[in-house]
Structure 1
Amino acid sequence: MKQNKYDDPGFFRNYSRMPRSVGGLEAAGEWPVLRSLLPDLQGKNVLDLGCGFGWHCRYAREQHARHVVGVDISEKMLERAREMTHDDAIEYRRVAIEDIDFPANSFDVVLSSLAFHYVQHFDSVCQKVYHCLMPGGSFVLSVEHPIFTALPAQDWYYGPNGERLHWPVDRYQDEGLRQARFLENDVVKYHRTIATYMNTLLDVGFTITRVAEPGPTKEMQEAQPEMRDETRRPMFLLISARKNEKQ
């Protein structure tokens, strides 16, 4: 299933109002850690899967990447990305992540931010990423944490006065489709365990180099007090991996 909610006018309007949509990478709580997982991008060919507004594409060029390709299934997202980009070395293509088909050894770095929990067949995408990466190339990804995706409600358990008592976790081992509610819309997500994410990468041939479960920075908690609850359970899972040098 290839989902494209972002071209729905109402959904796109709500998404465009989110803090990370307005403020970019600095408004994304996981960005400082994700940035630390990226290799040196100078002179590299970079692929961004699910590029959205193109924030990571532009960052890669700021770090002197040689050429950047951003792919996304949403024409509205790509239209906004093109409006915000003034750089001939960044190329945007409309294609579903599942349908990428790049030649072998095309890229030095592949990254993806908060997209793979919308993808049903993570294993086949990993195989395609491995194929298009140069030997020694890096694959850095972030997803909604499996503790967050386990239940479709993706919400706290509240007390009688509306206080957030705890984050419920159930059906964790029951991988597969979840009909979640996001930005006042029904959205299909795919839950998989931490082990599945990591073992899929290993089975394809990657070497995992780092795993992180970041929370909001102190600065973000001070600026947005509601973010303090995000330290009570992980919301993001970040993984960096490397393609072996010898093929």
Structure 2
Amino acid sequence: MTAFNSFYQQIATNRLSHWLQTLPAQLHQWQSQHLHGEYKHWQKTLDALPNTQPSSIDLSGRVAAGSRDDINEGEFKRLENLLKKLKPWRKGPYHIHDLHIDTEWRSDFKWDRLKPYISDLKDRYVLDIGCGSGYHLWRMRGEGAKFVVGIDPTQLFLMQFKAIQHFIGDDQVNLLPLGVEQLPELKAFDTVFAMGVLYHRRSPIDFLYQLKSQLAKGGELVLETLIVDGDVNTVLVPGERYAKMRNVWFLPSSEAMCAWMERCGFKNVRMVNTDVTALDEQRKTEWIDTESLQDFLDPDDPSKTIEGYPAPKRGIFIANV
């Protein structure tokens, strides 16, 4: 029995069954060859989580399971101590038996920005590429998505997702430790989300084609990425670092981003929202032990990164196939 057998059983009877031709071998290789040195310690943390019975589950207004009244004081302290062993918590927030996991990012802010513009997720198959610990997977399910899959190769994010899943217990929400380059052309999802990923890809055009190949006919892409001001020919290629990040390659203008998407064959391309990342959306909390946005900006001019580039500005783009 592998950690992913339940997922295999589910997709064997739904529209993703053809994924079984490649997926088990990929995940078997991951299990046997690519486990982080801390993985066993993280697994012990998960195994030690209290087996509680949450009195309620809320995935619509937030991601929450249970209340403080469901557990005693000892269980609550144990829960807090165990979950803090899985730091840093990047995306959230989560509320488990009223324990507030105050993550670095207020990912609910992003969800509130994009929700008015996306198609109704009710009964849809949804894929979230680069999903982190899976916060938005739960919000997608809360909007009525039938089957939700997230992929992210970072092992700590998988363990954090499993910790939340331990309390929510919804097998229609899944996270797989894969990168987008490992996906076959599934052409099966009604909606594909790719948020905060494109600028980490060395070839943004190849990435757009990879996204397109996951969508069923008529499906919708929701893409959020860093952008800069400028015309259709404006693309910032940072030096060694951008906001202290090494792996930032291309920051297009909104017009350039739309042109790229159209060149890749997407239809009805539109930018629906722009927003400059604020210090109340990305900040240091007791749930991370690292720097955050304030440390990445010029202390004398927060409109610039520490390297002198324009401060992070994000655009949300929607298109169809």
Q: Normalised by the size of structure 1, how large is the TM-score?
A: 0.68
* Shift in CA distance, 35/25, structure 1 to aligned 2, threshold 3 Å: farther
Secondary structure at 1:200 match in 2: helix
Within the alignment, does 1:129 sit opposite 2:211 as a pair?
A: yes
Which protein has the larger Cα radius of gyration, Structure 1 or Structure 2? 2
Which residue identity lines up with residue 136 of structure 1 in the other structure?
A: G
One of 272, 281, 291 as aligned partner of 1:211: 272
Do the aligned partners of 2:86 and 2:160 also contact (CA within 8 Å) in 1?
no
- Determine the structure 2 residue equivalent to 1:31: 111
One of 205, 218, 223 as aligned partner of 1:141: 223
- Determine the structure 2 residue equivalent to 1:238: 316
How many residues get paired?
204
Within the alignment, does 1:193 sit opposite 2:235 as a pair?
A: no
- Determine the structure 1 residue equivalent to 2:89: 16
Within the alignment, does 1:49 sit opposite 2:49 as a pair?
A: no
Which residue identity lines up with residue 189 of structure 1 in the other structure?
A: V
Which residue identity lines up with residue 272 of structure 2 in the other structure?
A: V
* Shift in CA distance, 107/60, structure 1 to aligned 2, threshold 3 Å: same
One of 82, 85, 90 as aligned partner of 2:162: 82
* Shift in CA distance, 65/205, structure 1 to aligned 2, threshold 3 Å: same
In structure 2, what is the Cα distance between the partners aligned to 1:71 and 1:111? 11
In structure 2, what is the Cα distance between the partners aligned to 1:36 and 1:26? 20
Secondary structure at 1:46 match in 2: strand
Mark the runs of 5 or more structure 1 residues left unpaired by the alignment: 1-6, 148-168, 221-225
- Determine the structure 2 residue equivalent to 1:158: none
Which structure: greater strand fraction?
A: 1
In structure 1, what is the Cα distance between the partners aligned to 2:221 and 2:121? 12
**Cα deviation code 1:166-193 (max 9, x no counterpart):** xxx9xx94644542265xx652211232
In structure 2, what is the Cα distance between the partners aligned to 1:191 and 1:8? 32
- Determine the structure 2 residue equivalent to 1:4: none
**Cα deviation code 1:140-161 (max 9, x no counterpart):** 01112235xxxxxxxxxxxxxx
Secondary structure at 1:142 match in 2: strand
Which residue identity lines up with residue 89 of structure 2 in the other structure?
A: S
Residue 211 of structure 1, CA deviation: 3.1
Residue 87 of structure 1, CA deviation: 1.2
**Cα deviation code 1:70-117 (max 9, x no counterpart):** 00020111111121122101121111123322422x100000221211
In structure 2, what is the Cα distance between the partners aligned to 1:62 and 1:95? 24
In structure 1, what is the Cα distance between the partners aligned to 2:215 and 2:245? 34
Do the aligned partners of 1:140 and 1:238 also contact (CA within 8 Å) in 2?
yes
Secondary structure at 2:127 match in 1: strand
Q: Normalised by the size of structure 2, how large is the TM-score?
A: 0.53
Within the alignment, does 1:180 sit opposite 2:259 as a pair?
A: no
**Cα deviation code 1:184-207 (max 9, x no counterpart):** x65221123224322121011112
Which residue identity lines up with residue 89 of structure 1 in the other structure?
A: Q
